[in-house]
Amino acid sequence: MRIIYIHQYFRTPQEGGAVRSYHLALGMIKAGFKVEMITSGNHSDSYDQRWINGMKVHYLPVPYDQKFGFFKRIKAFWDFARQCKALLKKLKRPDMLYISSTPLTTGWIGLWAKKKMALPFVFEVRDLWPEAPIQVGAIRNPLLKQLLYRLEAKIYRESMKIIALSPGIASYIRDKVPNTPISIIPNFADLEMFYPQEKSPALLKKYGLDYELTIAYTGAIGQVNAVGELIELAHLAQTHKKRWQFLIMGTGSHEQNIKEQAEQYGLKNVRFFPFGSREKVNEVLALTDFSWISFAHLPILKTNSPNKFFDALGAGKAIIVNHEGWVYQLVEEFQLGISCLPRQMNACFAKLEELELLPEHIVEMQKNSRKLAERHFSKAQAQNHINRLLDPSQKPSTAGDEVYILTA
């Protein structure tokens, strides 16, 4: 079976960032599928083509950066969809398209290919568009909202199958298109890349850190990521003369705002690391006790399935979560860490003070994280699941293989 996989933000582990598509595509190839990837790239001003681990990757010359403003992002979405359609006309006809959002405009490619080329497509929903940018306030025009909601519903209806990354996303889509098959395949932990490690004296020395309680954030620093709340916790810790350390690794539209916030508070306990490869993320996680998982307090963001959470599970880190979504439910049910909910910063600080004196409790949370990753969120499980959905004849489905995720 030939599959063309379309993902505007495709990344390799060496590039860093979200590598779900990289691993799913390699899993498809290992199972016998022939896969080509279409993505965008900042590599050059013209079309480029590379072979990556047996996969032909087509790079369209569409620059994109998380620091882009609204209109520059819209242009990038439009340019990618336009160039992708032109490329599809030239490539050997596949059996199906596997299309990953965001942005929602990638689904427009699927609609076009189904109508013009009679190609079926599977649509993977990573985030809920347009609902997320509407709740954030990025889209306010009533007519534009209506048009985007219609486009969203049409994409869902025309999809052969839908892959949702969390129970909340699946529930939202089912309300809109109850007759389209929906499966839940969350993000996952790369258990070989991320694994539990003792704090290395050499690594601590390399970064000028001490053997103290350490909390790290590794991810995007944008409007919806609420990294400012971690700065508030760091400020509280410094005010109380705690020797705790706070590490922030990432980039995004609000990176400078966060650095200025830390500077205004005069924080000496916060260290910033540049965005880096998966190896660099693993190195930062090896220095920490807790991984900070945060989003802005909007209902739609409670449905998210953040990569940084699954990286932390693989690395065996205790979790601090700032919102009552799906991740919060997992943290509570499986005793992975603690919460730092709105207007409860002091309670979170007090709990960390308590845990600082009970390191064995932190170790137990860390063990629970790794155990959950191994049992339910491994890369191999996600790859096997997607391969069965694409070709059920390859391997019969395991009874109840979604029960845990659906009831989490």
**What's the DSSP call for residue 377?**
-
| Rounded Cα distance, 254 and 226, in Å | 10
Half-sphere exposure of 405 (CA within 13 A, CB side): 27
Q: Stretch 354-361: mean pLDDT, rounded?
A: 98
Domains delineated in the chain? 2-188+378-407 (3.40.50.2000), 201-375 (3.40.50.2000)
Determine how β-strand 337-339 pairs with β-strand 318-321.
parallel
Contact 325, 132 (CB under 8 A): no
| Rounded Cα distance, 73 and 207, in Å | 35
Using the predicted structure, report yes or no on whether residue 394 has a pLDDT greater than 80: no
In the structure encoding, which two tokens stand for residue 135, read together?
């709740």
Model pLDDT for residues 27-70, shown as the tens digit of each residue: 999 999 999 999 998 766 899 999 999 999 999 999 988 788 88
Percent of all residues in the chain with a pLDDT value above 70, rounded to a whole number = 96
Helices 307-314 and 359-376: crossing angle in degrees, nearest 10, is: 110
**What's the DSSP call for residue 68?**
-
- Give the chain's count of helices (H) and strands (E): 16, 14
Average predicted confidence (pLDDT) for the chain: 94
| Rounded Cα distance, 393 and 397, in Å | 9
Q: Residue 137, by phi and psi: left (phi above 0), alpha (psi -120 to 50) or beta?
A: left
Q: What is the CA radius of gyration of the chain?
A: 21
Cβ within 8 Å of residue 51, ≥6 positions away? 57
pLDDT for res 395: 60
| Rounded Cα distance, 39 and 20, in Å | 14
pLDDT for res 396: 52
Using the predicted structure, report yes or no on whether residue 408 has a pLDDT greater than 60: no
Model pLDDT for residues 283-296, shown as the tens digit of each residue: 999 999 999 999 99
In the structure encoding, which two tokens stand for residue 244, read together?
């705790």
| Cα–Cα nearest to 80, from 93, 63, 97 | 63
Residue 233 CA to its chain's centroid (Å): 24
**What's the DSSP call for residue 290?**
E
Contact 221, 258 (CB under 8 A): yes
pLDDT for res 17: 85
What does residue 125 show for φ and ψ, rounded to 5 degrees?
-105, 105
Contact 101, 129 (CB under 8 A): yes
Using the predicted structure, report yes or no on whether residue 401 has a pLDDT greater than 90: no
Beginning with the edge strand found earlier in the chain, give each strand of the sheet holding 96-101 in spatial order: 48-52, 55-60, 34-40, 2-6, 96-101, 121-125, 161-164, 182-184
What does residue 110 show for φ and ψ, rounded to 5 degrees?
-65, -45
Model pLDDT for residues 263-320, shown as the tens digit of each residue: 999 999 999 999 999 999 999 999 999 999 999 999 999 999 999 999 999 999 999 9
| Rounded Cα distance, 233 and 227, in Å | 10
pLDDT bracket for residue 246 (50, 70, 90): very high
